[in-house]
Amino acid sequence: FMRGIDRAVIDEIQRAPELILSMKQSVDDDPRPGRFLITGSVELFRSTISPDSLAGRVETLELLPFTQAEIEQCDVPEFLTRAFTGDFPAYRETGRTPELIERIVAGGYPEALRRNNATRRVAWLRAYARALTQRDAAEISAVAKTDVLSRMLEFAAAESGRLTNLSALAAPLGVDSKTVDRWLTLLEQMFIVRRIRAWHSNRLKRLVRTPKLHFLDTGLLAALRGDSAKDLRADRNKLGPLLEGFVHAELAKIAGQSSSFVSVSHYRDKDKLEVDFVVEKAGRIVGIEVKAGATAKPEDFRGLKRLRSVTDEVFSGGIVLHDGERIQRAGDRLFAMPVSQLWA
């Protein structure tokens, strides 16, 4: 079928996986790069529907929802570069992050962002979630209980930002933990959620190794949780998990755009000291803690100080991101700053 085709763009390749082997043969016959551009809404080569991985023949690029820098149409953010070099002022007034809560509930899906009316945006996001779980999931993984998968997605939204507890997700659904694990893997392949691994070291034995569950778009997360901008302004307890998810989504996108390999994990030890995100690049580490308050308190740095003590030689810095107005040094390689520094 593919013979004689010099170049082609194939959209939604997961709906025609039988083309994979034809492309493989065509590329083997004519290995010029760039002959085929294939797009899809699932991580095809991790799924069971692809008959071949095309190893050595394909380069992949993840296109996640828009970053805040892309929405603002500004330059590629230098946050990670500055975080690893410590290139922040000891003190600077920056002003609060403009419309932070509105940014969180809007998310980064282009179609959602086109809807200025919050009711219409939420309706689109919930319809998108239904389409993913009831149609797309059945197409790529032969999920029979799509209604149960839809319910699990809502339960997962309630657990966002927490250590992944398969049993807690499985119990109200009447399925076993293995099924939930398989479904979460499917949702990861569809770029809806991501389980971020726990940071570990062979030298340290008192670390929790359970991954954390996060959504890759906080607009979708807020819609599934039923949280509006008004709700988040009224209740900072509701804002906390969504703000953490917002920072995770930005970090995941920034890491994906980096020219060097960047990994994002979380830290938690048996003393219950934790750091929301541990970013690693070229053997160096930056810890990031997220707080919904307008200032960073001394106790907000406890987890970062522990991480600094156990990784001292490779620890580049620890940052508390908050909903405040200023960048401020808080000790040796420690800073507090507004969330907007992620894209400033």
Model pTM above 0.85: yes
- Taking CB atoms within 8 Å and a gap of at least 24, the contacts of 14-21 are 14/40, 14/41, 14/42, 14/44, 14/47, 14/49, 14/139, 14/140, 15/139, 17/44, 17/49, 17/50, 17/51, 18/51, 20/50, 20/51, 20/52, 20/54, 21/51, 21/52
* Tens of pLDDT, residues 291-341: 999 999 999 999 999 999 999 899 999 999 999 999 999 999 999 999 999
Place 1 in a pLDDT band, splitting at 50, 70 and 90: low
The last residue of a domain, from among 14, 43, 61: 61
**Selection from 35, 31, 38 nearest residue 56 by Cα:** 31
Same domain, 9 and 77: no
Instruction: Say if residue 53 is in the same domain as residue 136.
Output: no
3-class SS at 20?
helix
Question: Do 195 and 334 share a structural domain?
Answer: yes
Structural domain boundaries enclosing 20: 1-61
311: left (phi over 0), alpha (psi -120 to 50) or beta: alpha
Is the domain of 86 the same as that of 122? yes
- Model confidence over 66-107: pLDDT tens digits? 999 999 999 888 999 999 999 999 999 998 888 999 999 999
Asked if residue 201 and residue 125 are part of one domain, the reply reads: yes
Residue 124, SS3 per DSSP:
helix
Q: How many separate domains does the chain show? A: 2
What's the angle, vertex CA 65, arms to CA 70 and CA 227, rounded to 5?
110
